[in-house]
Amino acid sequence: MRKEANTIVIMVSVGDREHLTKFTYPRLAAWAAKHHYSSCLLKKPYQSDLDRSLHFTKLMAHKILPGFERYIIIDDDLLLRTDAPEMEEVPEGYVGLCMDAVQVNTAATHVKWTGNTGFIVCDRSALKFLEQAYYEGEYQPLDPSQTIWGPFDQAILNHILFKNDRVYQLDWRWNYQCVIDYYDKTIGWHNWKNKRWERLLYYLKIGLPLSSKAKKKITQAYGIHMTMGLYPKFFSKIHA
C-alpha cells in the first residue's frame, strides 16, 4: 500500500476549542486530501488510569485511531497552508519534530536541540517512543540542573527521543512559532508581555502590505503555530 494512502493527519483538540478549529481544521483536512492522506479532528481524550494532562492525548492518538502506517499529529492552534507540499520523509523508527522557537532554556546535556511537539511525524515503528513518554509522564530529572524546555508532553518526549537517538529534525516551515520567534529574537518576552504597543507594532508589521522580516518568514512557512498569539481569523487572512 502506498504510504500516502496509509497516512493519517490528526488534529488533537480536546475541550471547547471550536474558536480555533473552525479555522485550523478545514485547512488541515484540505491539505491532507490534496496528498491523499486521511484526516481526523480528535475531540476525545485518551482514557487511562494515569493522571495525565489532556496535552498528553497526542502521544496516544494512534491508540484511538489505530491501523495506519504513518501518523502526523498536530496541535489545534497550528494553521496549515492548503498548498503546503507533501510531508517530508522521516527515517523509519524516528520521530520528526521541528525546532522550538526557544533554544536557550534547555540545560540537559543529552538534548542537542529542543523539539516542539505541536507537530509530530512518525511511522508505526516509532510509536513506542510516544507511548513511553505518555507512561513516564512529565519530565522530572534526577539532577535538577538537567532541565528541558517545555511543559506537559514536550520535555519528556525530547528526553526520550534524544536518550534513544531517535529524533529527526523537520523543516522549520512545518511548525513556525511566529510570535515567539519574533519576541525571542527582538524585544524579549518581558517587553512583549508588558508593552501593548510592542504587540500592536508586530501585528502591524505582518498585517500591512509592507515588506518586513517577520512577514517574510510567515509567507515562507507551511504551518503557523499561533502560540502566544491566538488570533486565528487574523492569521488565516495573512497566511492564505
Short-list 217, 216, 82, 92, CA closest to 166: 92
The pTM is what? 0.95
Collapse the DSSP code of 24 into the 3-class scheme (helix H, G, I; strand E, B; otherwise coil) and give the result. Answer: helix
The span from the CA of 37 to the CA of 65, in Å, is 14
The span from the CA of 207 to the CA of 215, in Å, is 8
Residue 2's pLDDT is what? 56
Residue 213's pLDDT is what? 86
The count of residues in the chain is 240
**CATH number, domain 4-173:** 3.90.550.10
Q: What's 183-202 look like in SS3?
A: HHHCCHHHHHHHCHHHHHHH
Buried b (16+ CB within 10 A) or exposed e, 110-136: ebeebbbbbbbbbbbebbebbebbbee
The two most distant CA atoms of the chain are separated, in Å, by 54
Residue 170's pLDDT is what? 98
Residue 214's pLDDT is what? 87
> Which residues are CB-contacts of 192 (< 8 A; sequence separation ≥ 6)?
179, 183, 198, 199, 228
Please report, for the chain, the start and end positions of each structural domain, with discontinuous segments joined by +. 4-173, 176-238
Collapse the DSSP code of 98 into the 3-class scheme (helix H, G, I; strand E, B; otherwise coil) and give the result. Answer: strand
Q: In the numeric block, which cell numbers belong to residue 186?
A: 527582538
The identity of residue 232, as a single letter, is P
Contact 80, 28 (CB under 8 A): yes
Residue 1's pLDDT is what? 47
pLDDT in tens, the chain (240 residues): 456 669 999 999 999 999 999 999 999 999 999 999 999 999 999 999 999 999 999 999 999 999 999 999 999 999 999 999 999 999 999 999 999 999 999 999 999 999 999 999 999 999 999 999 999 999 999 899 999 999 899 999 999 999 999 999 999 999 999 999 999 999 999 999 999 999 999 999 999 987 788 899 999 999 999 999 889 999 999 997
Across 30-146, the runs of DSSP E, i.e. the strands, are 38-42, 70-75, 78-80, 95-99, 115-123
Contact 170, 97 (CB under 8 A): yes
